[in-house]
């Protein structure tokens, strides 16, 4: 039966390809061909809707396999070549002989703001044991200020003030907007001309982080990678500490 489904699925795909090709034929011939193929495909799908279900399931399995493989490769690279994985991303300290915690985050995400409080405690309590690395993942479709905030933080990083800017954004998350971005920059004594110029250059670097997140199948924020484990959502200090102990 499974073999039959596979043949039916392949036939449907072939028919759809023929339908696409027929669009390039002369108008009358294309119309007759389109109509005939459409009727055949519709009839098959009516009689065998399981073909669609199996095709979707197969596609989902293939996608998940690709995500799993990408995560395994990323975790291995993080273990053996942490500096290459971190690249130019902001990090709280040098990575030598320390556990590396990679965070994918969105400055407008309320869960990220809560995680920020926990991570502050973690870094303060375990100085010299863990390096926190920030990767941008602005959830643009649902957070209108996520990308502008990410650009501002990236620009602050070009003047060595990422973490101060990062903290101010999360502390004032409900006020995200242009007035706040400039106000924080002024309070941190940033060169405003350079800050504004760098904000216009930030998209390439931020897009690289977004593409990495997509490759790893990251569906939301915050998302974390430490040693050989990934975890997401709300985090407790004790939970992260246990993972830190395992990584050490």
Res 177: pLDDT? 98
Q: Is the pLDDT higher at 208 or at 71?
A: 208
Q: Is 102 helix (H, G, I), strand (E, B) or coil?
A: strand
Angle at 243 (CA atoms; ends 240, 244), nearest 5 degrees: 85
Query: Domains of the chain (ranges plus CATH)?
Result: 2-66 (no CATH), 81-247 (3.40.30.10)
Q: Is the pLDDT higher at 68 or at 198?
A: 198
Q: Is the pLDDT higher at 19 or at 226?
A: 226
Determine phi and psi for 204, rounding to 5 degrees.
-60, -50
The pTM assigned to this predicted structure is: 0.73
Res 2: pLDDT? 47
**Strand partners for 94:** none
The CA-to-CA distance between both ends of the chain, in Å, stands at 51
Query: How distant, in Å, are the alpha carbons of 59, 103, 248 from that of 132?
Result: 35, 7, 15
* Encoded tokens for 103: 């965070």
Res 52: pLDDT? 60
* Encoded tokens for 182: 């400039």
């Amino acid at each position: 039966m499974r073999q039959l489904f596979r043949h039916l699925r392949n036939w449907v795909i072939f028919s759809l390809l023929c339908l696409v090709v027929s669009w390039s034929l002369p108008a009358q011939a294309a119309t007759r061909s389109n109509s005939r193929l459409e009727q055949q495909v519709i009839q098959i799908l009516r009689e065998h809707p399981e073909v669609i279900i199996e095709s979707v399931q197969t596609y989902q399995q293939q996608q998940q396999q690709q995500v799993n493989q990408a995560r395994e490769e990323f975790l291995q690279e993080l273990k053996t070549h942490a500096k290459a994985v971190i690249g130019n991303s902001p990090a709280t300290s040098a990575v030598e002989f320390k556990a590396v915690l990679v965070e994918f985050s969105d400055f407008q995400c309320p869960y990220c703001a809560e995680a920020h409080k926990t991570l502050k405690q973690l870094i303060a309590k375990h100085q010299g044991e863990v390096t926190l690395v920030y990767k941008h993942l602005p959830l643009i479709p649902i957070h209108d200020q996520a990308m502008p905030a990410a650009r501002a933080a990236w620009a602050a990083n070009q003047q060595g003030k990422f973490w101060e800017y990062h903290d101010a954004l999360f502390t004032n998350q409900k006020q995200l907007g242009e007035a706040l971005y400039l106000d924080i920059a002024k309070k941190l004594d940033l060169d405003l001309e350079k800050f504004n110029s760098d904000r216009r250059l930030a998209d390439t670097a931020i897009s690289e982080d977004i593409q990495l997140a997509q490759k790893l199948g990251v569906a939301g924020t915050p998302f974390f990678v430490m040693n050989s484990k990934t975890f997401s959502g709300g985090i407790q200090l004790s939970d992260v500490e246990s993972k830190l102990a395992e990584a050490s």
